């Protein structure tokens, strides 16, 4: 089998390869001595960094570039965070407004429902009172005036009780609105701080 020129055949060849001097690096053209004198060459030599300094300079430039990229990324993240915070505040304000509107709608619908019930029961009560007057006029004509007066007093008391219940409900609704809307944001949903 044929031996590869890159792989040594014996230990002596291996030692001989190790002892060879390293290949000389070609010098950059600016370091060659110019025909016009040594000043120009020495000025060019002073401007060029030495081999060790060139590696440090390029690594410093690389670090500066990475630092600049990290700062740019961080600034972009800060801008995105500020936009997110603005959007969250807007969303929170809209949800608070929507919750207030839904509460107002609920209160209004409850008030309308009670009003309709009151109108219906008031009609039934009025029909019952008129029917009882007719029965009293037929069965007990002597007591009709007293019965009419007592039934009118009872109807007036019922209307008075209804007015008191409406006033109490209105005060309770106003107190709830004050607690939810004007309580310094205690009823509002609070966000956790950004970490």
User: What digits encode the pLDDT tens for the residues 170-191?
Assistant: 888 888 777 776 544 444 455 5
Task: Flag whether pLDDT at 34 surpasses 70.
Answer: no
Cα 51 from Cα 180, distance rounded (Å): 74
Radius of gyration of the chain (CA): 50
As a whole number, the mean pLDDT across the chain is 75
Task: Flag whether pLDDT at 19 surpasses 80.
Answer: no
| Model pLDDT, residue 63 | 92
**Are 40 and 34 a contacting pair, CB within 8 Å?**
yes
Cα 185 from Cα 89, distance rounded (Å): 13
User: What digits encode the pLDDT tens for the residues 49-58?
Assistant: 555 556 677 8
Q: Work out the percent of the chain whose per-residue pLDDT is above 90.
A: 27
**Are 180 and 103 a contacting pair, CB within 8 Å?**
yes
- Structure-model confidence comparison of residues 127 and 23, the more confident one: 127
Query: Looking at residue 5, what DSSP letter applies?
Result: S
| Model pLDDT, residue 192 | 53
User: What digits encode the pLDDT tens for the residues 2-14?
Assistant: 555 555 555 555 5
User: What digits encode the pLDDT tens for the residues 75-94?
Assistant: 999 999 999 999 999 999 99
**Are 60 and 169 a contacting pair, CB within 8 Å?**
no
Residue length, the chain? 195
| Model pLDDT, residue 157 | 93
| Model pLDDT, residue 123 | 87
Q: Helix-strand-coil percent breakdown of the chain, rounded to 5?
A: 80, 0, 20
């Amino acid at each position: 089998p044929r031996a590869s020129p890159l792989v040594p055949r014996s230990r002596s060849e291996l030692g001989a390869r190790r002892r060879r001097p390293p290949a000389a690096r070609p010098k950059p053209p600016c370091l060659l001595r110019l025909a016009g004198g040594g000043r120009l060459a020495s000025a060019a030599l002073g401007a060029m960094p030495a081999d060790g300094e060139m590696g440090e300079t390029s690594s410093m430039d690389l670090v500066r570039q990475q630092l600049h990229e990290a700062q740019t990324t961080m600034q972009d993240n800060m801008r995105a965070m500020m936009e997110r915070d603005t959007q969250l505040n807007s969303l929170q304000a809209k949800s608070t407004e929507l919750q207030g509107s839904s509460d107002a709608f609920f209160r209004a619908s409850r008030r309308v429902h009670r009003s309709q019930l009151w109108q219906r029961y008031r009609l039934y009560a009025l029909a019952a009172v008129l029917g009882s007057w007719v029965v009293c006029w037929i069965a007990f004509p002597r007591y009709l005036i007293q019965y009419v007066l007592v039934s009118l007093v009872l109807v007036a008391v019922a209307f008075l009780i209804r007015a008191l219940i409406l006033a109490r409900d209105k005060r309770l609704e106003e107190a709830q609105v004050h607690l939810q809307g004007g309580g310094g944001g205690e009823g509002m949903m609070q966000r956790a701080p950004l970490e």
